[in-house]
Each structure stands twice: as structure tokens, then as C-alpha cells.
Structure 1
Amino acid sequence: MSVSFRLGILGAVGVLAAGLAHAGWLWFAWVAPAGALDPGSAAASSWMPLLVQGSWTFVLAAAVGWQLQRSGQPLQQSLALLRQQVQALEQGRFVVVEDPPAAEALPLARSLNAAVRRLQSAIEEAPGQGAQALRRTARRDAATGLDSRFTFIARLTERLADRGGAQTALLALRLLPVQPGLAPDPRALAAAAEMLHLFSRRVPGAFVGRLCESDLALCLPAHDLVAESAHSLIAALGSGPERLHCVVGCADHLGGVSLGGALAQLDLATAEAEAAGVGALVCRTSHREEATPQEEGALRRQIVEALRANAMELAAFPVVDAQGDLLHLECPMRLRLSPGQPLAPAQAWLPVAMRYRLTTQIELAGIEMALAASARDGLSRCVHVAAESLSAAGFVSAVRSRLQATPQAAALLWIEIAEVSLERLPPRLRNAGTVWQRCGARVGIEHAGAALLSLVRLSELELDYVKVASDFVRGVAEHAVQRERVQGLVAFVHEMGARVIAEGVDEQADLDALWALGFDGATGRLAGRQGTAEALVAPGSDAAACRDQAMSPA
């Protein structure tokens, strides 16, 4: 039943009921006055004008309802067009929509159209690129039928971005070559893929994908189950007709962890299993064993006391360009939780700090320390800001006041926000970086590249740089499809007018390939050994750099 018809019926019934009651015709409800029960009385004759009035009211209400329904149609049509465009991008198709009928949706539609045209142009004009490469990697892995690397990472990003900290665990199965240098046996790859696919079908909410040539991954929507699942998987693979040469790495308790942190834990576990030999299983957790309320309360008090006593220090890990010149120092915060104890990295205290909303104070202190250090030595420094801090009342203006107080040091400060954090923010807060840019600071995003659509949505933010997640660039020297994908991403970021920086580069072949693809900077073990950066990084800090970079909150 239409809106106009419902309004007309209600209006007519209301007026007719009032008129009949006035004329005394509702005698069955015992409301008619005495002497008015005779339908032929003079009072009864007054219902005719009211019936005419009710008819006109029906017509008027129907017209109003029709107009209301008609005015809502343009907005519904506009939203349908925008949904169609976003769904096409998720599937790797470039769709430019016509101007929507609703004037309110026109700026957004034109902005999306412009972003789609720039993305398509950047990919098609880059050497060796094309829309076909994007489509090939959009959804499924051709060899196994599982989610492709990019689809799996996109789904994992969405799950980790859940504000409620949805329970998440990861399992990676790495197929080892029978002889060094050989690709995984296709039969072994198919058997492993089928086994993982069976696991995902048995657990609601689980999904499985292929991360790279020899790594398959399973995401489980629960904590404390991945180790048991891994043992079952190894037993099932070992009971087959052909024993697979493989290892398994697990990362548990990933709810609320950033994408980079989750993948870093999984990578470390898988690497340790591979070092242990065929059939090995290593399971890591993103935080300490489940703490009691007393232990958690004690850690919270230690964090608060460290803030009061200024028992904090910024680490320094270099980000360099292709010539080895320093772009900036990445400066994750470390806290001294007990007197006389070494400084603790974010891995030790960040989950509790986030739970008790202490990250805002910690990040403001980090910005003050970075500004002071840059004022002393003239080096650029980079600090991280979490979505929770951006949402906190007064945080953006507090940072602005600190930048305005030291304009020369502010010009040396780089501020970065996790890609998934910006996706979780309302539009009015996504432009907070513009306020800081006006004060001289550079603003960018980190852990980018998991979902191409996310970068399309962020293309209007006038970012100064984009740091691409280590999982997105790892192995780029060996895999042609991944190299094409990365090259398209570089072209798109440069089209945005921003620098593109690779995170966590550990292999010289990958680093050389990234420079050839046009990357403007890199972090990781190799970055600290290039050119002028070598004198700025402490010996033995490579592993610490990986942990600190991975633990930045989303």
C-alpha cells in the first residue's frame, strides 16, 4: 500500500468520524446527545457538508503523500547508483555513473567518478599494466579456487576493523619445496587447499585464501582454537597417501590488533616453524596470556605512572629513499613501566592502554617529544595517531596548538594514521589532517594496500604520503602478478600527488624491485644499512623495528 493512499485513508476516516460524531450518528458508541438519535433530525442533515469536506481531505492527503513519495525517489535512485559504482570497484571493474537526480548526492558522485577515472588512467598508462591484471587478482586464486591474496587481506582488514574487537585468529600453511628453488608441487597445493577449505566450511565465519605461491591462510572467528585446529590439520595431512612437506604457523588473540600487527605475528610464527623443519607447528599470541583483573589493573597504573614521571622515550628507525638519504625517522613510543627496568615497546602495554583510553595522552606526549627532538637536531620524525585519538574531544586542536608553538619543528613532523583507522572514522574527522598540514606537518597513512577500494575512498584527502603494508610488497621481486598490482598502486598514489613508501622490506631483491617500480622510500632491516641512515640506527634494532612498526594501533 502506497504512502499517499495510506495518508488519504487516514485523513478521510478522521474527518468523517469527527463529522459523524458531531451530527450524532455514532449512537452505537453512546456519545450522541439526547434527541439526536433520529437519523431524520435536523442535526443529522449536517453530515453532508462534512462528507464533502472528508472527500476533499482525502484528495489533499493523497496529493501530499504522492509528493512525499515522489521527492524521496531521487535520493533512493542516487544511492542505488553509488552502490553500483562501489560494488563494481570491489569486483575490479571501472564504472562511471551518470549524475544522480538528487542534488545532495551530486558532489559525492562526481568525486567518485573522478577517482575512478584517475585510477583507471593510472593503471592503464603504467607500463605492463591494464584492467585485466586488476580483474585477475580481484577475487579468486586461479590455481586453488580459494580467495586471492587481495580478497583475503581485504576480508581480514574488515574483520580487524570491527569496533568491538571481534575474536580473530590466523593459521598459515607453508608448503616447502622438495628441493631448494622448486615451486610447490601442484598436487600438494591442491590437497592443502582442499583441506583448509574443509576447515573453513565447518566453522561459520571462517574464510581461507592464498597469500603467496607457497602460503595458504585460514582466518578463524574465535580465540584459543587455532592451535587445536593446527594440530588436527597436521594430523590430517600426515595421514594422506602422500605426506606433504609443510609447516604451520598460527597467530592467536588478534581481536583489536592492526592489520600489520596481525600479519607480522603470523609471519614470525611461520618463519619459526620453517626454521624448525618439516611438520613443525609454532603458535604465537598478540599479547600476554590472559591477564587477571588485578594484573591488568597493575599494568594500567604502571602506564599512568610512566606518563606522570615522563618515563618515556621515542625509538628511531630510518626511512630512506633510493639514494640512501633519510626521509624521516619512525618514532614508536616506549614506556618504562618499572624503575630500573628497560623501556617496554608497544607490544607490552598497548592493548591495556587502548582498553583504558590512554592512547590519547601517550600520543600527545609522543608528538611533543618528536617536536622537541627535531628542534634540537633538525631531523624529520614520524609519529602515529590512532582513530580513538582522532575521535577524542579536543585532540585535533591540541595537536594544532603544539604545532603552532614550534613552526620550524612542525615542518619536520610526519603524522600517520592507519588506513583501516580512516575507514572507521566519520567523514568530518577524516579531514583532521588538513588542520595539521596548514601548520606545516606532513600527514599520511600507513599499512595501506590491503584493499584497493580503501585508497579510492581516501583519494580526496590530499595526503602527503602513503606507506604500503609489508605483506603487500613482500615477494614482489618473484611474483609478476603482484609486481603489476604494486606498480598500479604506485601510479595511483603518485597521481594523488603523494609519496609512496614500502614498509618492512627485508630482502635485497625486493628492495631493488621496489626502487625500479618507483617507490619513494622504504623501511625495514635493509633501510637502516643504506647511505646516511646507517649512522642513525642502533645496532641490533632490526627485530625491534619490525615489532614496533607492526604494533601501531588501528
Structure 2
Amino acid sequence: MKRVSLIQQLWFLVVAAVVLAAAGSLTANLFNARNYLQQQLAAQSADAANSLALLITQNQADPAMGETLINAAFDQGHFRRISWVGADGKPRVQRVNAYQSGSAPAWFRNIFTLAPTPARAMVSSGWMQAGTIEVESEAGYAYASLWEGALQVSFWVLIAGLVVGAIGSFGVNTIRKQLLGVVNQAKAITQRRFITIPEPPGPEMGRLAQAMNAMVTRVKMMFEEEAARLEVLRRQVNFDSVTGLANRQFFMGRLGADLQEREDESSVLLLMRIEALADINSKLGRPLTDEMLGQFGAVLRDTQRFGVDSQAARLNGADFALLLPASQAEAASLQQLHDELHALLSSFAAQPVALAMAATDLRDGDTVRDIMSRLDQALAQSEFAAGVRIEMAGSNVDKPPAPTAEVWGGMLDQALQGDGLRLVRFAVRDRQGALLHEEAPLRLRQGEAWLPAGQFMPMAIRTRRVAGLDLAAVAMALRQLAAEPDCPGIAVNLAAESLASEHFLRQLVAQIREHGHSAARLWLEMPEAGILPRFDAFRALCLALAELPCKLGIEHFGRQFSLIGQLHDLGIDYLKVDGSFVQDIQQHAGNQVFLKGVCNIAHNIGLGVIAEGVKQEQEQQMLFELGFDGVTGPAVR
């Protein structure tokens, strides 16, 4: 049985009240008018009877004169019957009108019946009674007057009803808006979006909204306080206090995660060494040296220059590293960076300071040991050259010429139109080992090989085909889910750059709606680094998907931890914590406290937490002890 909403009940009450009031007013007016007309008819009958009786009496009850007077009165048409009944009870003169005059319909006459009482007056002849005059008025004109009055009253009652209805409509709509505001706020809370609303002016709704807003405000304050505490802890554990750069432990974890995760754009690693830093420190003193290193670190932390996903670190006292996308690591840009840092150091030391710098790209199959070995050799060569040039490690390795943007565009178009794309699936498991879902990054066919996303997505973004690739990946995942009803879910990695396409969101929503049942097992995720510069567009995505059955999450979470303070009103479903926090977690008490706090704050607003890049069974056990809901990585099969 369909439930009647409160608004519908209010409307019913308003309509019922208007109808009852109008009907009651109309009925009362009509009955009052009928009684008045009935009294007027009785008075008319009495006046006519008395007048005729007096005139006939004055004419000595002459039958001929009496008949003449009665005929004259009757012909006016105001009477139904006029009779002169003799003293013997027999009618001497009688006129009767059988025709019912007036335009009032029969049903109206039956409801508002007029039954005026006949009037009687005595006729005398001298001292003798000559009979009585009986007069009954004609009610047809009264019916017509009453009918016309009913129409007029009905018209004005209808006008009044419409005015009252309009006022009631305004009131109901006002209440409806207030109710919808509170309902939408409660619904948003169930979707993990903690929002506040303006307090309605009415006391009842105002108090309810005030209570809801107070609860949301407390949640936000608790969330922000916990986020601030975790940010302080994260920086204490993973960052150098002097330069603000990542420490060696965290950076090596990030480097290992990037080597494992080949879905991102290819990267370049710079290794820098400040020569004779100890001598500079003894000459300048610690405060000035710390200021110099702080400015040195500020240059390396410039994410607008090197990309939001870049990562700079202080590996030890004089060694620094910068991991940045290959697109930001052209030779001219690196030389400009070297010259800028060299000038900065020399300005503090008041003399030229050698800055050795080496660079290498991250290649398929590389390990951290391989990369650092190449960089150490190249850095030694840069030091031998007195730090005046950048050494490119492995620059003598032959590389095939890179395809042009036009060639890449043709390859991507061909893949979208044919079968040049596929999803590869990796398990994501919970504490009991059950499959939560399968992460499914996209692959592009190139000859006999399948390229990881990190090798073709940068060109897809550059040639504006990334939205088409993401939509194709979602379509493939939905088809696979429909064909595999036992699959618990497939997670598709979406590029944040797709949000720039004006058609992407509309087409994504349309695809998901077409596969209602299968879409309940679809997981969509975007990288944290791409969300930050497009936060408003990501919020629009969250709102568009809020009513759909699919899940939405953030991957590589924690690289830009400031995002955690804005999660309370997005309505996402889960976080995938970056592998840089996960590696060797069983040995790092500081990161254990940090990750436990992340799990607590996420669980408090209903978010699941999954760890990326798990390489060891010991890491997996520790992560579940810290409160993680799932894990993925090489150790998870």
C-alpha cells in the first residue's frame, strides 16, 4: 500500500478545509435567503388577502365586484391561488395558477423548497359574515431570485476559495521547502555528506534544523580536529623538520610504490648533493644554514612547477631527491632547476657552492636498488665535474623513438573503435580473505604487447581522448559484471582530467543507469593528486553519482593529505591509502599510529579503507590490526 506523504496530507487538509468552508458558507447563505423569501411571500399573501377582504366588504360583498377585484389581483401574476369561500364553505370565486414560473432547475427547487403559508381574511356584509378570502403567493419568482443569488454567491465563494487556496498553497509550499531541506540534509548524512542548511523561520522546523546543524557542525569539528592531529603526526613521522621535505623512509616507500604502480605517468628521479655542507654549516652557523636548506626545500616542494604528484625528499644531511613526472623533466627544465638551486646556495655561502645532480627515468622492471645504483654512478660523475652539469644516468641506453601526438591519437582512436583495450584484474581482499572487488586498470594494445596506463594516459590527456578511454573502461566493466553475476565487484580507475569534458559526466551517468543491477557492483575511483586541482568538478561527480548504486572512492590517498579535511561532504564510499605509507609498516611505529588514525576518522563517517601496494604477509597482518577493511598488492592473490 502506497504511503501518503505529509505534504499530501497537508494538501488534503487545506483542500478539505476550503471546500467545507465554501460549502458551509454557500449553504448557510442559501437557507437564510430561502427563509427570508418565504417570509416575504407570506407577508405578500397576508397583505393581498386583507386588501381584497376590505374592498369586497366595502362593496357589500357583491359577488360581481368581488370577482372583478379577485381577477384584477390574480392577473398581476404574483399569486398561485386566490379563493373567496362563502360562509357555507363553498367557493364563490376561485382563481388557480397551475404553471410554475421561474428559471430555477427542479433539483434546486427540491432542495430549497419554498412553502409559504396561505393567508386568510374575513369578508363581511353588514353585520353578517360573507366568507373568507384565501391567498397563496406564487413562489416561482422567489425561486428565480434564490437561484440567481445562489449563482452569485457561488461565484464569490469560488473566488474566495481560490484566494484561500492560493494562500494555503503558499503556506504548504513553504512548509514543503522547509521539510525538504531537513529531509535532504538527513539523506545527505546517510550518504556520508555532512552539510548544514539555513534554519527555517518557523519554531518547529527551526529547532529541528538547528539540532541537525549542530550535529553536523560537531561532526565537522571532530573531523577537522582529528585531521589536523593526523597531519601533524604525518609530518612528524614522514617529513624533515628543517626543509619540510619527505624523509628517506617515506620517500623510499613512495618510490617503491611508483615502481609497482605502472598505471601512472612515467617518472624521472633526480638525486642532488650539496658539496661541503658541513663546511658551510660551520661557517654560517646552524640558524642560517637551516634557513638556506629551508629555501632549498621550498623550491623542490613547488607542486605547481613540478606537478601535484611530484615528491621531494631529504635523504640525509646533504642528499636530496625529487621524483617528478617525465613531462616535467625536460633537459632544459632540469638545467634551469640546477642553476636556480646553485645560485640560491651560493648566495648564502657568499661563494660558489658545488651542487651535484643526476637524473634517471624509471623503467619497467626497475627495483629501488637498480635506480639508486644508476644514480650513484651518475652523481659521482657530476661531482667529478665539480657539480656544474646534470648527469643523465643510463643516457647511453638506446630507446625507440617516441611516437608523435598524431600517431598516439590514431592509435587511441583505433583502440576505441576496435578491440584494442582491455581490463586486467587484481584482487582486493578483506580480513577473512574474501574478495571485496577486483581492481581493473586499463591496457592498450600495441602490436603484441599491452601497454599499462602510465605509458599511454599522458598522451590520451594531451590529445583529449582520456574521457573516451574512461567511458570505454566503465562500459567494459559493466559488461563483465553482467556476464559474471558471482563477481563481487570491479573497480575502474578514472582519470581526473576526464572531469574537464563537458559530456563525460552525463555519459557516465547514462551508462550506469542502463545497467542498474550490474552497476551496484561497479566501483569507481580517482587519484587524490588529480582531484585536488579539480575539487569542484569532483564534488559535482559525487553529487551526480549519489543516487546511483555504484561506489565511488579515492585512490593513492595520503600523498596530499590536506584533502582529508574536505571528505565530510563528498559522499564517497572508500579510500585506498597510498603504498608509500604501507611498505614495511610492521617496522614503523609512527606510520602505524598515523594509519590507525586514518582508519578511525574514515570509519567515523562511514568510509571503507583499503591499503595499496601490500608486498608482504607481515604488512597485510599489521594493516588489518590497524583497522583496514581490505588490501591489494603483490602479496594479495
- Per the normalisation by structure 1, the TM-score is 0.54
Q: Which residue in the other structure is 1:149 paired with? A: 246
1:387–1:424 contact (8 Å) kept in structure 2:
no
Alignment counterpart, residue 415 of structure 1, candidates 510, 513, 524: 524
Q: Which residue in the other structure is 2:606 paired with? A: 497
Q: Which residue in the other structure is 1:35 paired with? A: none
**2:579 counterpart letter in structure 1:** S
1:443: Cα distance to partner?
0.5
Alignment counterpart, residue 317 of structure 1, candidates 419, 426, 430: 426
1:513: Cα distance to partner?
1.5
Task: Tell me how far apart the structure 2 counterparts of residues 204 and 497 of structure 1 sit (CA, whole Å).
Answer: 36
1:496: Cα distance to partner?
2.0
Identify if the C-alpha distance between structure 1 residues 227 and 443 changes in structure 2 by more than 3 Å, giving closer, same or farther: same
Map residues 431-510 of structure 1 onto 2, 5 A cutoff.
431-510=540-619
Identify if the C-alpha distance between structure 1 residues 426 and 449 changes in structure 2 by more than 3 Å, giving closer, same or farther: closer
Q: Which residue in the other structure is 1:326 paired with? A: 435
**1:205 paired to 2:304:** no
Alignment counterpart, residue 363 of structure 1, candidates 449, 460, 470: 470
**1:372 paired to 2:470:** no
2:542–2:571 contact (8 Å) kept in structure 1:
no
**2:246 counterpart letter in structure 1:** R
1:381–1:413 contact (8 Å) kept in structure 2:
yes
1:333: Cα distance to partner?
1.2
Map residues 139-538 of structure 1 onto 2, 5 A cutoff.
141-142=240-241, 145-149=242-246, 170-171=269-270, 205-207=299-301, 210=313, 217-218=321-322, 223-224=330-331, 250=359, 268=366, 270-273=368-371, 283=393, 295-338=404-447, 341-378=448-485, 379=487, 380-427=489-536, 429-528=538-637
**Could you say what secondary structure the match of 2:587 adopts?**
coil
**1:343 counterpart letter in structure 2:** W
Alignment counterpart, residue 136 of structure 1, candidates 236, 241, 248: 236
User: 1:121-162: CA deviations, max 9, x gaps?
Assistant: 5898xxxxx897467359x525xx332538998xx9xxxxxx
1:306–1:337 contact (8 Å) kept in structure 2:
no
Task: Tell me how far apart the structure 2 counterparts of residues 116 and 171 of structure 1 sit (CA, whole Å).
Answer: 40
2:244–2:297 contact (8 Å) kept in structure 1:
no
User: 1:281-322: CA deviations, max 9, x gaps?
Assistant: 79589xx97967x73312221111111123221111111112
Structure 1: gaps (5+ residues): 1-105, 125-129, 157-166, 175-186, 234-247, 253-263, 529-554
Q: Which residue in the other structure is 1:13 paired with? A: none
Identify if the C-alpha distance between structure 1 residues 223 and 202 changes in structure 2 by more than 3 Å, giving closer, same or farther: farther
Identify if the C-alpha distance between structure 1 residues 377 and 212 changes in structure 2 by more than 3 Å, giving closer, same or farther: farther
**2:244 counterpart letter in structure 1:** D
- Per the normalisation by structure 2, the TM-score is 0.48
Task: Tell me how far apart the structure 2 counterparts of residues 443 and 395 of structure 1 sit (CA, whole Å).
Answer: 16
Identify if the C-alpha distance between structure 1 residues 212 and 200 changes in structure 2 by more than 3 Å, giving closer, same or farther: closer
**Could you say what secondary structure the match of 1:382 adopts?**
strand
Map residues 51-200 of structure 1 onto 2, 5 A cutoff.
114-120=219-225, 133=233, 136-137=236-237, 141-142=240-241, 145-149=242-246, 170-171=269-270
Task: Tell me how far apart the structure 2 counterparts of residues 333 and 298 of structure 1 sit (CA, whole Å).
Answer: 19
**2:223 counterpart letter in structure 1:** R
**1:483 counterpart letter in structure 2:** Q
1:451: Cα distance to partner?
2.8
**1:524 counterpart letter in structure 2:** G
User: 1:402-433: CA deviations, max 9, x gaps?
Assistant: 21211121011000011122222252541313
2:424–2:441 contact (8 Å) kept in structure 1:
yes
**Could you say what secondary structure the match of 2:555 adopts?**
strand
Task: Tell me how far apart the structure 2 counterparts of residues 218 and 328 of structure 1 sit (CA, whole Å).
Answer: 34
Q: Which moved more, 1:347-356 or 1:461-470?
A: 347-356
2:269–2:360 contact (8 Å) kept in structure 1:
yes
**2:633 counterpart letter in structure 1:** G
Q: Which residue in the other structure is 1:31 paired with? A: none
Identify if the C-alpha distance between structure 1 residues 173 and 396 changes in structure 2 by more than 3 Å, giving closer, same or farther: same
Task: Tell me how far apart the structure 1 counterparts of residues 607 and 499 of structure 2 sit (CA, whole Å).
Answer: 22
2:431–2:624 contact (8 Å) kept in structure 1:
yes
**Could you say what secondary structure the match of 1:383 adopts?**
strand
**Could you say what secondary structure the match of 1:372 adopts?**
helix
Task: Tell me how far apart the structure 2 counterparts of residues 225 and 270 of structure 1 sit (CA, whole Å).
Answer: 26
Task: Tell me how far apart the structure 1 counterparts of residues 295 and 512 of structure 2 sit (CA, whole Å).
Answer: 52
Task: Tell me how far apart the structure 1 counterparts of residues 425 and 606 of structure 2 sit (CA, whole Å).
Answer: 27
**Could you say what secondary structure the match of 1:336 adopts?**
strand
Identify if the C-alpha distance between structure 1 residues 202 and 442 changes in structure 2 by more than 3 Å, giving closer, same or farther: closer
1:477–1:510 contact (8 Å) kept in structure 2:
yes
**Could you say what secondary structure the match of 2:623 adopts?**
helix
Q: Which residue in the other structure is 1:182 paired with? A: none
1:524: Cα distance to partner?
0.9
1:440: Cα distance to partner?
0.9
1:223: Cα distance to partner?
2.8
2:245–2:297 contact (8 Å) kept in structure 1:
no
Kindly report the root-mean-square deviation, in angstroms, between the aligned alpha carbons of the 2 structures.
5.0
1:462–1:496 contact (8 Å) kept in structure 2:
no
Task: Tell me how far apart the structure 2 counterparts of residues 344 and 485 of structure 1 sit (CA, whole Å).
Answer: 35
Task: Tell me how far apart the structure 2 counterparts of residues 131 and 387 of structure 1 sit (CA, whole Å).
Answer: 24
1:495: Cα distance to partner?
1.5
2:611–2:632 contact (8 Å) kept in structure 1:
yes
1:303–1:337 contact (8 Å) kept in structure 2:
no
Task: Tell me how far apart the structure 1 counterparts of residues 360 and 289 of structure 2 sit (CA, whole Å).
Answer: 19
Q: Which residue in the other structure is 2:28 paired with? A: none
Task: Tell me how far apart the structure 2 counterparts of residues 267 and 148 of structure 1 sit (CA, whole Å).
Answer: 27
Structure 2: gaps (5+ residues): 1-209, 255-265, 302-310, 342-356, 380-391
1:343: Cα distance to partner?
2.3
Task: Tell me how far apart the structure 2 counterparts of residues 278 and 150 of structure 1 sit (CA, whole Å).
Answer: 18
**Could you say what secondary structure the match of 1:335 adopts?**
strand
**2:236 counterpart letter in structure 1:** R
Identity %: 26
1:476: Cα distance to partner?
1.9
User: 1:174-197: CA deviations, max 9, x gaps?
Assistant: 9xxxxxxxxxxxx9xx99x99999
Task: Tell me how far apart the structure 2 counterparts of residues 311 and 266 of structure 1 sit (CA, whole Å).
Answer: 21
